[in-house]
Amino acid sequence: MDKYQDNMNASPNENGYDEEPDFSDPEDYVDEISDEELLSDLLMKKPKEADGIDSVIVVDNVPKVGSERLEKLQNVIRKIFSKYGRIITEHYPKDDDDKTKGYIFLEYTSPANAVDAVSHLNGYKLDKQHSFAVNLFTDFDKYANISDDWEPPKKQPYKDHGNLKWWLLDADCNDQYSVIYDGGERTAIFWNTSAGPASIEERSRWTETYVRWSPKGTYLATFHQRGIALWAGEQFKQIMRFNHPGVQLIDFSPCERYMVTFSPLVDTKDDPQAIIIWDIYTGSKKRGFHCENTAHWPIFKWSHDGKYFARMAQDGLSVYETPSFGLLEKKSIKIQGIRDFSWSPSDYFIAYWTPEDNDIPARVTLLEIPMRTEVRVKNLYNVAECKMHWQNKGDFLCVKVDRVTKSKKVQSCNFEIFRMREKQVPVEQVEIKDSILAFAWEPAGGCKFAVLHGESPRICVSFYNVTKGKVELLKMMDKKQANHIFWSPSGQFVILAGLRNMSGSLEFIDTSDFTIMNAAEHFMATDVEWDPTGRYVISGVSWWGHKVDNAFWVWNFQGKILHKQAMERFCQLLWRPRPPTLLSAKQIKDIKKNMKNYSKQFELKDRMSQSKASKELVEKRRQMMEDFMNYRAQLEKEYEACKPVRLELRGGVDTDEFDSHIDDWDEEVIEFFVKEEIIELSD
């Protein structure tokens, strides 16, 4: 530094100019700063020495074609592989018959393009017979020079998550439910016991927004700023995390193998990140998608077993298959003007509808996947809107059709009932001229459905039954304060509820004879949730809907209130779902037939449970009485110890001894007029 300072302070030369400073390093100077520290950003762009083969990929399982079809094959290959970079060389080896050998060589402009193509297109399904096997050309040398000395892979430690179905083994068959309260600050899991909620797990800030159970109840999903966490097992340990910043919505496949997440924060043109489908078992990302419209969630709808999933595209329907997550047959189904679609809950059928277009009527179409065969088409006229409702066994499809007049006003509503199990899928029609508030099929494979129609104060509920050859009206009830229909998961029993903007009225109805078992009210109720068995139901006032009287009440299926649980800023209650029963239809039928034999042991268990509860109550009361007597004895001792002080303050007179000083007290008698009764005596 001294040398540099001297050079800078040098005097001007004879020409009047300053001498040029000498910036050379001293002979003994050692530079301790590396180029990576100073120029790390530039060194990343430094050209690397390569022999040219790093940009070459080998594509196997390519169709073997002759010269007449080669140009068409080349165009298809270019279209697929040019998405990942510019291809500068193509080579299609041929055999003696002038046919391609089934593998090709492609060269990109850079090795990065080649790596990208391998990662995205290896396993790409071109058609039913050909799926590409894509590798880097350099990998052949690497695999050819593998050492003959084999080293066994290191054994990875097995992470035991325990029994993920443990809650199904409860001896009393109690169900579980999750509760978010304290304005979202606390989350708890409870058993629903006869004595009331029994806490299993409770944590602070377990989720940042809300929670969601998987369809079969195996996993509990919690939301966080960085993504989703899944919890399971007896201790609710975290078994998987999915990194998706800003995630807002999720959905599970019915098989619980895959999870779909949506975030509006991260998305790029080349790497879709708005919607991601994850493998729950491994935590790996299976595929990402762009999202143009989040008005309807879920965007992807799954088939009943998770084998297919679909989404609406512009004038089309895109159906994907698992586990490849590729587009079915590599092309979308062209459907001009498609408005909505829905999967059958039991078969590979898709129902969709399209609106009217000039002289073309509106249509409801049943499509069979993967053949894309139209099973049934129903033409409709003067249609404003359609809503599709599947019966949970897939035996019937009800399409609610809102019809309009020429002035574009909604005039009436039709229900088109498709009989899916009958030949050529016949359609029955039910017309209701009132406005429709709610519609719901009876679960558990029932053939009944309920409709709320009309306007307040004359809201009616109508129950229909789909029999062979006709749809008959079973019962109509009027003057109902309701805007929601909640069927028991086991069928037969239904609740008509007036939620949110109504008073919170609840009517419990047995549809076997249409008796009203109970009519009650949970004022300002916002939610009604049946448990998976159909034995219990809760009504709740959520803090997200109202800021006062936040609580949930537990009822039995007959409408008898069992528990009232007030919780500070109660937000959400969700029952833990149960997987489908393993019993066959014949076994269930036999159980119902011999119910009296089974009911005896359950009645005995109920009496023992009640007896146990009585014993616990008696023991609790006995302990309270014992504590009271001990406390009383303690106070009596203190009272006797203070007697000299009392005598001194009262002039030696013990006023507590009433019998010895009775003359010192004046007796005062007070009379009260009760009533006057006049009795007439006859002569």
Whether residue 63 lies inside any domain: the answer is yes
Whether residue 93 lies inside any domain: the answer is yes
pLDDT digits (tens, 9 = 90+) for 193-229: 888 899 999 999 999 999 999 999 999 999 999 999 9
Question: What is the end-to-end Cα distance of the chain in Å, rounded?
Answer: 143
The Cα–Cα gap between 336 and 12 comes to: 86
Would you state the pLDDT for residue 8?
Answer: 46
Q: Which position has the higher pLDDT, 269 or 126?
A: 126
Q: Which position has the higher pLDDT, 449 or 652?
A: 449
Q: Are 286 and 279 in contact (CB under 8 A)?
A: yes
Whether residue 210 lies inside any domain: the answer is no
Amino acid residing at 483: N
Report the number of distinct structural domains present in the chain. 2
Point out the domain boundary residue: 144, 162, 182: 144
Q: Are 544 and 182 in contact (CB under 8 A)?
A: no
The Cα–Cα gap between 233 and 163 comes to: 6
DSSP 357: B
For the chain, counts of helices (H) and of strands (E):
8, 41
Domain that holds residue 96: 53-144
The Cα–Cα gap between 330 and 127 comes to: 8
The Cα–Cα gap between 337 and 68 comes to: 39
State whether residue 160 is helix, strand or coil.
coil
State whether residue 139 is helix, strand or coil.
helix
CATH code of 75's domain: 3.30.70.330
Whether residue 261 lies inside any domain: the answer is no
Q: Which position has the higher pLDDT, 351 or 596?
A: 351
Q: Taking the CA atoms of the chain, what radius of gyration do you get in angstroms?
A: 39
Q: Residue 145: which H helix or E strand, with range?
A: none
Q: For tokens 């050079």, what's the residue?
A: 7
Amino acid residing at 268: T
pLDDT digits (tens, 9 = 90+) for 283-303: 999 988 888 776 688 899 999
Q: Which position has the higher pLDDT, 155 or 268?
A: 155
Mean pLDDT for the chain? Answer: 86
Task: Give the count of beta carbons closer than 10 Å to the beta carbon of residue 576.
Answer: 21
This model's pTM is above 0.95? no
Q: Which position has the higher pLDDT, 325 or 666?
A: 325
Query: What would the mean pLDDT of 611-630 be, rounded to a whole number?
Result: 81
Whether residue 116 lies inside any domain: the answer is yes
Whether residue 92 lies inside any domain: the answer is yes
Query: What would the mean pLDDT of 72-94 be, rounded to a whole number?
Result: 90
Q: Which position has the higher pLDDT, 36 or 97?
A: 97
The Cα–Cα gap between 667 and 40 comes to: 107
Point out the domain boundary residue: 88, 118, 144: 144
The Cα–Cα gap between 258 and 286 comes to: 9
Per-residue pLDDT band at 54 (split at 50, 70, 90) = confident
The answer to which of 15-19, 577-581, 647-651 has the lowest mean pLDDT is 15-19
Whether residue 240 lies inside any domain: the answer is no
pLDDT digits (tens, 9 = 90+) for 110-145: 888 898 888 888 888 888 788 899 999 888 877 777
Point out the domain boundary residue: 114, 144, 174: 144
pLDDT digits (tens, 9 = 90+) for 623-675: 999 999 999 999 999 988 988 888 888 877 777 665 445 555 566 777 777 76
Q: Which among 110-119, 162-171, 615-624 has the top mean pLDDT?
A: 162-171
Cα–chain-centroid distance for residue 333?
28
Reply yes or no on whether the pLDDT at 158 is more than 90: no
- Rounded to 5 degrees, φ, ψ at 287 are -170, 150
Write out 103-120 in H/E/C secondary structure.
EEEEEECCHHHHHHHHHH
- Rounded to 5 degrees, φ, ψ at 612 are -65, -40
The answer to which of 132-146, 159-173, 487-501, 650-664 has the lowest mean pLDDT is 650-664
The Cα–Cα gap between 437 and 569 comes to: 30
Whether residue 101 lies inside any domain: the answer is yes
Q: Are 386 and 404 in contact (CB under 8 A)?
A: no
